[in-house]
Amino acid sequence: MLTIRKIALATAAPLVLAAAGLTHPHGLFRSTASHWTGMHIALLPVFPLLTVGLLIPLWHRPRPGLAGVATVVAWAGAFGYAVFYTGLDAIAGIAAGTAVGHVGPTASIGPVKHPLYDTGELLGHVGVYALIGAVAATAAALFPKHGVRILPGTAVLLGAGWSFVDSHIFWPRGVWTMVAFALGFALLAWGAADNEPHRHRP
């Protein structure tokens, strides 16, 4: 039952993001600016929660040795993702959307050429690469105790992270990327579940 609760917590954020991605505008124009801005305001607290799927199996760590070092690296990567991807959400989402919503009725914005979007995209790339590093470090921290059980989830998460670099949550690939994160976190939570009762150590 505890593992089911952990899986539910780990998969909540990516599934919410996948659902949001189904209505995410494919371009930022004056006609979509209000939706674009409102969506990124609503998702501002959700994107950082993507890391919960890594923090759950890492809880009550670090431990001594290389696994402990890997745990610290994983927590740092998760923090880096939360900071820099929030920058993307705020700049390319909220700021760019607000700016476009207040320009002339014939003006439009392309998703690549606008400086606000470019700046946000750069921050987003840094954040996603930090998340990929956090996934790898999480695997290194968990492997000594859980062995190959954590490899399926790790593989799915690394693939999802690579897709996330340029898919954001845009339909279709971005939505499926979030579904892949949910699957990867579920597999990782299962793989990191204790296989036997805790024993008291002297």
Q: What is the pLDDT of residue 180?
A: 98
From CA 115, how far away is CA 119, in angstroms rounded? 6
DSSP assignment, residue 50? Answer: G
Give the residue ranges of the chain where pLDDT is below 70: 1-2, 61-63, 103-114, 195-202
pTM of the predicted structure, to 2 decimals:
0.89
- Residue 27 and residue 132: Cα distance in Å, rounded? 26
pLDDT digits (tens, 9 = 90+) for 136-174: 999 999 999 999 999 999 999 999 999 999 999 999 999
CA 117 → CA 22, 93, 103, 194, distances in Å? 21, 8, 16, 44
pLDDT at position 130? 98
Cα 31 to Cα 20, 28, 95, 102, 119, distances in angstroms: 19, 8, 16, 11, 22
Check residue 47 and give left, alpha or beta (phi > 0: left; psi -120 to 50: alpha).
alpha
In the prediction, which pLDDT does 118 show? 83
Mean predicted lDDT score pLDDT of the chain: 88
Distance, CA of 138 to CA of 74 (rounded, Å): 5
Tokens 């670099």 found at: 165
